[in-house]
Structure formats: structure tokens, C-alpha cells
């Protein structure tokens, strides 16, 4: 078992220390080594270390504090721009102005991101994903000058950790692993699978702080609300249209 994987915790506080170029190069090379669709490498990685640019990106990530602390932000984008240019120059018909192309390129970008995260940990760096990249892709496109065919799908803060938080819990493996075919969950299964999480002191505290009856309500009513999902879905759909992946 790889300790880089099993000791992973998201790091949200960073030392004021730049990442040496040779270390960052290895992190980026690890990302590039990842499997990718047809070896087309239909993604790009934007490395942002300049303070003014990080500040410009912060609102797109809802001003999460770690953005100003981390020396670098990596933004992973689904990217058919370069590939399209190559096709155009080589008399090849471009066929990727559709949703399958976006999802395919997104999968590649995310696999590359996770390779970068594991390599980062190997160098003693900490990372935290910024899911907010998908909430405000339009703002990120504007700050990072992303051309048509390019959409940010995830981002990470990366730097030397200034904290060592405890490992977070995980559901038992029966929650996510199905052998041979999918076995749907009975009420009893759900109760068993979520019981440990629901019994944790931090979960109980979470419910109390948010004035809710159940942990699930903290997710649906506070953290990941339907109204937010609907609002940001609209922005994402408009962005995919503007960037040429949806008509
Ligand atoms: C796609 C994705 C988006 C995430 N977005 C955020 C984020 O915007 N802010 C944040 O503080 N953590 C974010 N996280 C970190 C998760 O909250 C974290 O991985 C999860 O709580 C498990 O904790 P661990 O990574 O320490 O094991 C994100 C993680 C993923 C995979």
C-alpha cells in the first residue's frame, strides 16, 4: 500500500515557502504520465503562482482562505483547443464540439490531477482540491485567458503543509464496492453503512451547529443545496455552450 495514498489528508494551511522548480516539474511530469484517452492528451494544466493572479482567482473559488496561503494553484482543464488546431492544420475533420468530448477530456484532466496529487505528497507537499472550479468556470476562464475548447474542471492548492489534520473517515468498502454486478441497497444496508459516520462525535457536532435533525440534512440543506446546484448547473451549461462543447 502506498503511504502517499493511505496517509492522504487535504491540506488547507500552508507555509510561506515556494515550491522549487525541480519539485514542481516532477509533480507536473507525474500528471502528464497518467493514462489518457487515445493518448490525445486533451487537457491542460495552468500553474498559477503570481500573487495578483491568485488574488484574481480567489473570488471564483469563493475566497477560500487556502488560495491566498498556498504558493501555487494548479487548474486542470478539459482542453480540445490544441488538438483542434492540430486537426485543422493536418486536414483532419474536427469532431469534438459535443458533450462526450467535454466529459472525455474532463476524465483525462481529473486523472492527471490525481497523479499530480500523489506525486506532490511524495515530495512532502500538501494539496487540497477546489471543487469550486466547476461552480465558476466562467470567472476562471476570464482570469486565466482560456480560449474556446478549454474548460476548467478541477483545481488544487499545493504547497508545504502548515497543518497535519487527522485522517478523515470513510464509509465501509461495501458502500462503494460491488462484486460482479451492482447490488442495490436495502434500508437495512443504508442504516448499517452510515451508522458509524452518524455516530461520530464530529458528525453530531455538525448536526447541532447547523441546527439540523440528521447528518444527511446538513448536506442537502446547507453544504450542497439543490438551489445552488441548479444555479451553478446553469452557469456550467452556458460555459459549455460558450466554449464550444454544447450547442
Ligand atoms: C473534486 C473535489 C472538490 C473539493 N473541493 C473542495 C473545496 O472547494 N474546498 C475544500 O476545502 N475542500 C474541497 N475538497 C476536499 C474534500 O472536502 C476532502 O477531500 C474530503 O472532505 C475528504 O477529506 P480528505 O481529503 O482530508 O481525506 C474537494 C475534494 C474533491 C475531490
Task: Write out pLDDT tens, residues 92-144.
Answer: 999 999 999 999 999 999 999 999 999 999 999 999 999 999 999 999 999 99
Ligand 1 contact, 13 CB (< 6 A): no
Instruction: Specify whether 66 is located in the same domain as 122.
Output: yes
Number of domains in the chain: 2
Give the number of other Cβ atoms within 10 Å of residue 224's Cβ: 11
Instruction: Specify whether 142 is located in the same domain as 196.
Output: no
For residue 247, being part of any structural domain is answered with no
Ligand 1 contact, 132 CB (< 6 A): yes
SS3 27: helix
Edge-to-edge order in the sheet of strand 72-79: 43-48, 72-79, 150-159, 126-130
Domain that holds residue 136: 3-165+226-242
Angle at 53 between CA 165 and CA 49, to 5 degrees: 55
Per the CB < 8 A criterion, the answer to whether 133 and 61 are in contact is yes
The enclosing domain of 54 has a CATH number of: 3.40.109.10
φ, ψ (nearest 5 deg) of residue 130: -120, 90
pLDDT at 228: 97
Q: Distance, CA 81 to ligand 1 centroid (Å)?
A: 28
Cell for 206? 455538525
What gap in Å lies between CA 57 and CA 148, rounded to an integer? Answer: 19
| Nearest protein Cα to ligand 1, atom 29 | 129
Instruction: Specify whether 24 is located in the same domain as 72.
Output: yes
Checking DSSP bridges between strand 72-79 and strand 43-48, what pairing results, if any? antiparallel
Instruction: Specify whether 90 is located in the same domain as 185.
Output: no
pTM of the predicted structure, to 2 decimals:
0.97
**Mean pLDDT across the chain:** 97
Residues lower than pLDDT 70 in the chain: none
For residue 155, being part of any structural domain is answered with yes
Q: Distance, CA 90 to ligand 1 centroid (Å)?
A: 41
Amino acid at each position: 500500500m502506498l503511504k502517499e495514498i493511505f496517509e492522504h489528508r487535504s491540506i488547507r494551511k500552508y507555509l510561506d515557502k515556494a515550491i522549487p522548480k525541480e519539485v514542481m516539474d516532477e509533480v507536473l511530469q507525474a500528471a502528464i504520465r497518467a493514462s489518457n484517452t487515445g493518448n490525445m492528451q486533451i487537457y491542460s494544466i495552468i500553474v498559477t503562482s503570481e500573487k495578483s493572479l491568485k488574488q484574481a482567482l480567489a473570488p471564483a473559488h469563493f475566497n477560500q482562505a487556502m488560495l491566498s496561503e498556498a504558493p501555487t494553484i494548479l487548474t486542470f482543464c478539459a482542453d480540445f483547443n490544441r488538438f483542434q488546431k492540430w486537426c485543422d492544420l493536418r486536414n483532419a475533420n474536427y469532431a469534438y464540439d459535443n458533450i462526450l468530448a467535454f466529459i472525455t477530456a474532463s476524465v483525462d484532466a481529473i486523472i492527471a490531477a490525481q497523479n499530480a496529487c500523489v506525486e506532490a505528497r511524495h515530495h512532502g507537499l500538501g494539496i487540497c482540491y477546489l471543487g469550486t472550479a466547476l461552480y465558476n468556470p466562467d470567472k476562471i476562464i476570464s482570469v486565466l485567458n482560456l480560449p474556446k475548447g478549454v474548460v476548467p474542471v478541477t483545481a488544487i492548492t499545493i504547497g508545504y503543509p502548515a497543518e497535519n489534520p487527522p485522517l478523515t473517515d470513510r464509509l465501509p468498502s461495501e458502500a462503494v464496492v460491488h462484486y460482479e454486478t451492482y447490488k442495490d441497497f436495502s434500508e437495512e444496508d443504508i442504516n448499517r453503512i452510515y451508522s458509524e459516520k452518524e455516530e461520530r462525535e464530529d458528525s453530531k457536532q455538525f448536526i447541532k451547529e447547523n441546527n439540523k435533525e440528521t447528518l444527511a440534512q446538513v448536506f442537502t440543506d446547507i453544504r450542497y443545496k439543490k438551489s445552488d446546484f441548479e444555479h451553478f448547473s446553469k452557469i456550467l451549461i452556458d460555459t459549455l455552450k460558450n466554449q464550444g462543447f454544447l450547442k
